[in-house]
Amino acid sequence: MYKKNIQTILMPTIVALAVVIGMFINSLFIRRDTRDRQELFLPIQGSKVDMVVNMLKHSYVDTVDIKKIEETAVEALIKDLDPHTVYIPAEDLEKVNEDMVGNFGGIGVQFYKYQDTVTIIKVVEGGPSEAAGIKDGDRIIQVNDTVIAGVKMNDAKIMSMMRGQLGTDVTLTLLRRGEKPMVKKVTRGAIPVKSVEVAYMVNDTTGYVKVKTFGMNTYNEFMQAVEGLQKQGMTKLIVDLRNNEGGILPIALKMVNEFLEANKLILYTQGKASPRSDYYSNGKGHFKDLQLSVLINEISASASEIFAGAIQDNDRGTIVGRRSFGKGLVQEQRMLPDGSALRLTVARYYIPSGRSIQRPYDEGKEKYYKDFYLRAEHGELEERDSIHFDENLKYETVGGRTVYGGGGIMPDVFVPTDTVGYSRYLAELSRSMKLYEYTFDFMDRHREEIRQIKDYKELLDYLRQYNLVGEMVDYAAKRGVKKDAKGLKISYKVLENQIQAYIGRHVLNDEGFYPIFGMMDATLQEALK
């Protein structure tokens, strides 16, 4: 009885003690576990996005690719912003910046893959390959330990094998006509990326300069080109910005400045975190008296539109072509810790009349980038009258001419897409690449004869002895493009011009292509009137 009473009395105490001890022990485990977890989160002082990524990194049940998760997260963060705020992964940044920087690490050759054989079209003068003794026409059989002859490999892959860090070596196994295979070691160097593709005299008084992009070296290249044309008697200049998607804003401003008198507004920028900044000409330009025309089209964007818009709004020159793209947003490239970058939109730019030329993007990026196709569907590329402007976005140039904002620069002289000479036969020859292949084949067969040709005029004299169109038609027919007599008649002159121009590019680079192609370029010919 006593024993039972003792148990009855002590049992609640024992149970309570056990509970307390258990709570104490449990609390030790909880505190220790919490302390460990807190230590995991100590470095995180930021948004919940940072915290979630850290949780996945340290606490998720399985191993995950954190870098991939971060890349996906960044893309999601900017997905619904404007179309020009973009994320650039670290592995893509160097390639993306090439046009801006003006060079890349490589061996200095232009090549063409013809019938599974990589042939060097041009060796860059003064470049690493020339120093190694490589010549135009050499076939590349192998790059380092990888055979590239007779295998299916795209141009991008081949190019990536030849490009690389400055000072590193690449070993090429080459085959030269009439000789045994040879091995050449080439040390990669800085290969220039030209932003001014060509400059030449179209006639006795008119010069033509083609600007591909606005990069770090563009201003110096442009000045050298224009000054060189002035020495040849130029009094009128045509600046071709067609297909130029823009680039570095200050470079475009410096180039416009060369054509304006003092204190002319070129541009102003403004954004939520960027107070208004005005940019005026300083009056020190070298080409203030030069007659000027600027060529644009639906691909001309950003810095190209700044250049064309400043010239138009100041009534300084004539804009010729078709309505430009319509990009009026300013990006800054912000570097991220892993070597990637964010091109962040920080402001809008406004050209001298006060108009913004940014197209609306409130219906999403997909529709925004489909605008080119919508323009074609609406007939804008063929008829000026198909373009309708918002009367609420009407502005005036310095001289009182009416211009419109809300989507690109409308040229002073509209030139529709050139369809003269178009046929399905021409389209098939272009699509199948047979026209271009023939021009390479012709150049390769006549390489020794044309090696000494110095300019496009001399080349045209040489080519007149050949029936180029007839040869090309036979070449294409043997390779699956059936001859079309009706289409050939319609497109004969266009075909002849394109064949001559492409041979010109093989032989003389852009200095051989553009002067010949320009002879049937409707927009250029309109600017010459």
**Average pLDDT estimate for 211-232:** 97
Distance in Å from the first CA to the final CA of the chain: 127
Per-position DSSP letters for 140-162, written without gaps between them:
EEEETTEE-TTS---HHHHHHHH
**Average pLDDT estimate for 195-204:** 97
Structure tokens at 20: 């307390």
Greatest CA span in the chain, whole angstroms? Answer: 132
Structure tokens at 520: 């049937």
Q: pLDDT tens digit string along 174-186?
A: 998 888 889 999 9
Distance CA 102, CA 99 (A): 5
Distance CA 482, CA 299 (A): 33
Other Cβ atoms within 10 Å of 75 Cβ, number: 12
Distance CA 12, CA 15 (A): 5
Distance CA 456, CA 448 (A): 17
Q: Report the chain's mean pLDDT, rounded to a whole number.
A: 88
Other Cβ atoms within 10 Å of 399 Cβ, number: 9
The closest alpha carbon to 134, from 180, 186, 179, belongs to 186
Using CA atoms, how far residue 98 sits from 32, 94, 104, 105, 296, in Å, is 53, 6, 6, 10, 23
pLDDT band at 455 (very low <50, low <70, confident <90, very high): very high
321 φ/ψ sector (left φ>0, alpha ψ -120 to 50, else beta) = left
In a 13 Å sphere around the CA of 381, the CA atoms on its Cβ side amount to 14
Residues 6 or more apart whose Cβ sits within 8 Å of residue 139: 117, 118, 119, 120, 149, 174, 175, 176
pLDDT band at 162 (very low <50, low <70, confident <90, very high): confident
Distance CA 450, CA 466 (A): 13
The closest alpha carbon to 492, from 417, 418, 425, belongs to 425
**Average pLDDT estimate for 472-484:** 96
Exposure pattern of 190-205 as b/e (b: 16+ CB <10 Å)? bbebbbbbbbbebeee
**Average pLDDT estimate for 43-50:** 70
Distance CA 122, CA 507 (A): 8
Q: pLDDT tens digit string along 122-153?
A: 888 888 999 999 998 889 998 999 898 888 88
- Name the residue with tokens 């709570």: 23
Q: What percent of the chain has pLDDT over 70?
A: 91
Q: Is the pLDDT of residue 2 over 80?
A: no
Amino acid at residue number 116: D
Q: Is the pLDDT of residue 28 over 50?
A: no
pTM higher than 0.75 for the full model?
yes
Amino acid at residue number 478: K
Q: With contact defined as beta carbons under 8 Å apart, do 487 and 198 qualify?
A: no
**Average pLDDT estimate for 407-423:** 92
Q: pLDDT tens digit string along 63-102?
A: 999 999 999 999 999 999 999 999 999 888 888 887 777 7
The H-or-E segment that residue 256 falls in is helix 249-257
Using CA atoms, how far residue 207 sits from 199, 236, 240, 244, 268, in Å, is 7, 6, 11, 19, 30
The closest alpha carbon to 444, from 64, 114, 44, belongs to 114
Q: Is the pLDDT of residue 38 over 90?
A: no
| Chain-centre distance for alpha carbon 516 | 24
Q: With contact defined as beta carbons under 8 Å apart, do 248 and 100 qualify?
A: yes
The pLDDT value given to residue 45: 59
76 φ/ψ sector (left φ>0, alpha ψ -120 to 50, else beta) = alpha
Per-position DSSP letters for 333-370, written without gaps between them:
EEE-TTS-EEEEEEEEEE-TTS---PPP-TT-HHHHHT
Q: Is the pLDDT of residue 25 over 80?
A: no
* Length of the chain as a residue count: 529
Q: Is the pLDDT of residue 298 over 80?
A: yes
* Range name among 169-173, 455-459, 501-505 with the lowest pLDDT average: 169-173
Name the residues annotated as catalytic. 302, 313, 327
Q: Is the pLDDT of residue 392 over 80?
A: yes
The pLDDT value given to residue 480: 95
